[in-house]
Amino acid sequence: MNSTDTRRVYLDHAATTPMRPEAIEALTAQLSAVGNPSSLHASGRSARRVVEESRERIAQAIGCRPTEVVFTSGGTESDNLALKGLFWSRQRPRVLATAVEHHAVLDPLQWLAEHEGADLTLLPVDEDCRLDVAALAAAIAVDPESVGLVSVMWANNEVGTLQPIDQVVALAKGYGIPVHTDAVQALGSVPVDFARSGVDAMTVSGHKVGGPFGVGALVVRRELALTPLAHGGGQERDIRSGTIDTPAIAGFAAAVEASVKEQAESAARLSGLRDALVAGVLAAVPDVRVHGDRDHQLPGHANLGFPGCEGDSLLMLLDAQGIECSTGSACNAGVAQPSHVLLAMGCDDEEARGSLRFSLGHTSSPEDVDAVVAAIGPAVERARAAGVRR
Mapping DSSP onto H, E and C, the string for 231-245 reads CCCCCHHHCCCCCCC
Query: Where residue 228 falls among pLDDT bands split at 50, 70, 90?
Result: very high
At a CB cut-off of 8 Å and minimum separation 6, what does 176 contact?
Answer: none
CB-CB contact of 48 with 239 (8 Å): no
CA–CA gap between residue 218 and residue 74 (Å, rounded): 9
Query: Where residue 1 falls among pLDDT bands split at 50, 70, 90?
Result: very low
Q: What is the average pLDDT across 238-246? A: 96
Same domain, 364 and 270: yes
Evaluated on CA atoms 148, 181, 332, 342, the torsion sign reads: positive
The last residue of a domain, from among 236, 261, 286: 261
* pTM for this entry: 0.95
Can you tell me whether residue 198 is helix, strand or coil? coil
Is the pLDDT assigned to residue 146 strictly greater than 70?
yes
Is the pLDDT assigned to residue 387 strictly greater than 90?
no
CA–CA gap between residue 135 and residue 123 (Å, rounded): 7
- Tell whether 322 is covered by a domain: yes
Is the pLDDT assigned to residue 331 strictly greater than 70?
no
Q: What is the mean pLDDT of the chain?
A: 95
Same domain, 214 and 304: no
At a CB cut-off of 8 Å and minimum separation 6, what does 190 contact?
Answer: 154, 155, 162, 263, 267, 298, 299
Among residues 177, 157, 198, 195, which one has the least CA distance to residue 17? 157
Query: Where residue 3 falls among pLDDT bands split at 50, 70, 90?
Result: very low
- Tell whether 146 is covered by a domain: yes
Same domain, 274 and 224: no
Same domain, 136 and 48: yes
Is the pLDDT assigned to residue 388 strictly greater than 70?
no
CA–CA gap between residue 248 and residue 212 (Å, rounded): 6
Is the pLDDT assigned to residue 195 strictly greater than 80?
yes
Query: Where residue 15 falls among pLDDT bands split at 50, 70, 90?
Result: very high
64 labelled catalytic? no
User: Torsion-angle region of residue 255: left (phi > 0), alpha (psi -120 to 50) or beta?
Assistant: alpha
Q: What is the average pLDDT across 303-307? A: 97
- Tell whether 252 is covered by a domain: yes
Same domain, 173 and 58: yes
At a CB cut-off of 8 Å and minimum separation 6, what does 213 contact?
Answer: 16, 74, 206, 207
Least confident segment among 7-16, 18-27, 106-115, 320-329: 320-329
- Tell whether 191 is covered by a domain: yes
Same domain, 337 and 359: yes
CA–CA gap between residue 5 and residue 320 (Å, rounded): 10
CATH of the domain at 370: 3.90.1150.10
Q: pLDDT value at position 386?
A: 82
CATH of the domain at 159: 3.40.640.10
Same domain, 325 and 288: yes
- Tell whether 74 is covered by a domain: yes
Same domain, 185 and 305: no
- Tell whether 292 is covered by a domain: yes
Query: Where residue 333 falls among pLDDT bands split at 50, 70, 90?
Result: very low
Length of the chain: 390
Is the pLDDT assigned to residue 332 strictly greater than 90?
no
Domain that holds residue 57: 21-261
Q: What is the average pLDDT across 304-314? A: 95
The last residue of a domain, from among 245, 261, 277: 261
Same domain, 110 and 233: yes
Which amino acid is located at 183 in the chain? A
Is the pLDDT assigned to residue 2 strictly greater than 50?
no
The last residue of a domain, from among 207, 227, 261: 261
Long-range contacts of 122-125 (CB under 8 A, 24+ apart): 122/97, 122/98, 123/96, 123/97, 123/98, 123/99, 124/99, 124/344, 125/98, 125/99, 125/100, 125/161, 125/344, 125/345
Same domain, 218 and 271: no
Q: pLDDT value at position 7?
A: 82
- Tell whether 4 is covered by a domain: no
For the chain, percent helix, then strand, then coil, each to nearest 5? 45, 15, 40
- Tell whether 3 is covered by a domain: no
Same domain, 30 and 91: yes
What's the number of domains the chain is made of? 2
CB-CB contact of 273 with 369 (8 Å): yes
Least confident segment among 67-81, 258-272, 309-323, 333-347: 333-347
CA–CA gap between residue 298 and residue 121 (Å, rounded): 26
Same domain, 248 and 274: no
